[in-house]
Amino acid sequence: MALWKRLWLLFSVIWGVVASLNVLTILLTAEEVERGKALMPLFFGFAVPACLYLAGWLWERWKARR
């Protein structure tokens, strides 16, 4: 496994734990009206690791062509 994939996996696990704790905290402490605020950390919890994987994959393909 490439080094960037290992680092991405480590980052994704840490990012996912922090994002889920943030969502859980919002859901447990917010009133009904404010529960929609939990959607943004949930979205970024999935979007950021996916974008980073895409960037690493594109970088690897670009380096292989050179």
Tell me how many domains the chain contains. Answer: 1
Instruction: Give the model's pLDDT for residue 41.
Output: 92
pLDDT class of 54 with cuts at 50, 70, 90: very high
Instruction: Give the model's pLDDT for residue 58.
Output: 95
Cα separation, 35 vs 40, whole angstroms: 11
CA distances to 7, 22, 30, 43 from 26, rounded to whole Å, are 28, 6, 6, 14
Instruction: Give the model's pLDDT for residue 34.
Output: 81
pLDDT tens digits, residue range 1-50?
A: 889 999 999 999 999 999 999 999 999 998 887 888 889 999 999 999 99
Host domain of residue 55: 3-65
Cα separation, 14 vs 43, whole angstroms: 15
- Residue 18 tokens read as 């922090």
Cα separation, 18 vs 3, whole angstroms: 23
